[in-house]
Amino acid sequence: MPHNHEAKFIGVAPLNLASAEHISFLINDKYFDECLKTQAGALVCSKKTAELLYGQTKSILLVSQNPHAAVAKISQFFFKPKHPFSGISHQAMIDETAEIHPTATIFPFVFVGPGAKVGAQTVVYSGCFIGATSSVGADCLLYPNVVIREGCTVGDRCIFNPGSVIGGDGFGFAATEKENVKIPQIGGVQIANDVEIGANTTIDRGAMADTKVGSQTKIDNLVMIAHNVVIGEFCFIAAQTGIAGSANIGDRVIMGGQVGVAGHLKIGNKSILTAQSGISKNIPEGQMWGGSPARPFKEHALSLVALNKLAKSNKKSS
């Protein structure tokens, strides 16, 4: 039953705000009723939703196995970030030995050190710093005031939100009675392709080896990644989480907000650490843990129930 529309769209909008020129979407079933009322010219949804809607809507139905990803891609099509400067500013300070790709954009008030490299189409906003010998790949976005210190490498298509700091000194000292002797932090940071780093997040350089973040990993704002941490691919790390030194995080790990991971631990692939949990042990692959100190989530939940029950019975008997 082929459609024969010729439709023109100007963007993506939520069900309640969409006009005939918008594409809208159903990702969360609780908004199903809004699909029946939306003015959207088209609607991205699952096959199941499309069957339920068929004949009850004027919207063109765009069926996807992953409507969430489909909407994201459509939204990317309509929305290209525009940058308020182009070219390589003569008000930037670029060392003569740095290699800036001619298609890159360097805003005013940027400092690029000796031997540093900036790849094709990469955009470096004002106030950024790229240290000596550090390299940033192609198609990256460094928003204002990002700092990438010396000896770090960044892949392609990475996004650094404002104020993020890559390669600050790790927290390493040898305590004596008379002084706390600084241990020089001589490693760097390696960031793979397609990584996003949140605003004011900090990723410290390694003490001797490099701190590493794997491809497709997405890190939210105000996160702390300590020296020598190794993070795998496809992880999500929510805001204000902290990962202590030398911890090893697997692939496709999900951390909620304000999680703390102690040093030198191993967090298995596909594990889930719930918000505010305090991880003090290695976490096996595929498990969900919570609480502080964290335990398997079911045990943690049982403790909370038991404690609640105890408090109630104490209250009665008192």
Q: Which is nearer to a copy of itself, 55 or 84 (CB)?
A: 84
Site string for a copy of itself, 90-119 (x = CB under 8 A): -x-x-x-----------xxx-x-xx-----
Could you write out the three-class secondary structure of the chain? CCCCCCCCCCEECCCCCCCCCEEEECCCHHHHHHHHHCCCCEEEECHHHHHHHCCCCCCEEEECCCHHHHHHHHHHHHCCCCCCCCCECCCCEECCCCEECCCCEECCCCEECCCCEECCCCEECCCCEECCCCEECCCCEECCCCEECCCCEECCCCEECCCCEEEECCCCEEECCCCEEECCCCCCEEECCCCEECCCCEEECCCCCCEEECCCCEECCCCEECCCCEECCCCEECCCCEECCCCEECCCCEECCCCEECCCCEECCCCEECCCCEECCCECCCCEEECCCCEEHHHHHHHHHHHHHHHHHHHHHC
Which residues, 6+ apart, have CB-to-CB distance to 156 below 8 Å?
119, 137, 138, 139, 140, 193, 194
User: Any catalytic annotation for residue 227?
Assistant: yes
Q: Which is nearer to a copy of itself, 54 or 309 (CB)?
A: 309
For the bound state, the minimum distance from the C-beta of residue 1 to a copy of itself, rounded and expressed in Å, comes to: 28
Site string for a copy of itself, 68-87 (x = CB under 8 A): xx-xxx-xx-xx-xx-xx--
| Secondary structure (3-state) at 17 | coil
For the bound state, the minimum distance from the C-beta of residue 142 to a copy of itself, rounded and expressed in Å, comes to: 12
Site string for a copy of itself, 22-61 (x = CB under 8 A): ----------------------------------------
For the bound state, the minimum distance from the C-beta of residue 303 to a copy of itself, rounded and expressed in Å, comes to: 4
Q: Which of 139, 204, 229, 272 binds a copy of itself (CB under 8 A)?
A: 204
Q: Which range of residues in 39-47, 54-62, 147-155, 265-273 is near a copy of itself by CB under 8 A?
A: 147-155
If one asks whether residue 315 binds a copy of itself (CB under 8 A), the answer comes out as yes
Q: How far apart are CA 131 and CA 30, in angstroms?
A: 49
Q: Which is nearer to a copy of itself, 56 or 212 (CB)?
A: 212
Q: Which of 7, 10, 36, 186 binds a copy of itself (CB under 8 A)?
A: 186
| Secondary structure (3-state) at 146 | coil
Of residues 225-254, which lie at the interface with a copy of itself (CB under 8 A)? 226, 234, 236, 238-240, 242, 244
If one asks whether residue 10 binds a copy of itself (CB under 8 A), the answer comes out as no
Of residues 278-307, which lie at the interface with a copy of itself (CB under 8 A)? 278, 292-293, 295, 299, 302-307
| From 83, 227, 264, 300, active-site residue | 227
Q: Which range of residues in 37-45, 54-62, 174-182, 265-273 is near a copy of itself by CB under 8 A?
A: 174-182
Q: Which of 59, 153, 190, 202 binds a copy of itself (CB under 8 A)?
A: 202
Q: Catalytic positions, please?
A: 227
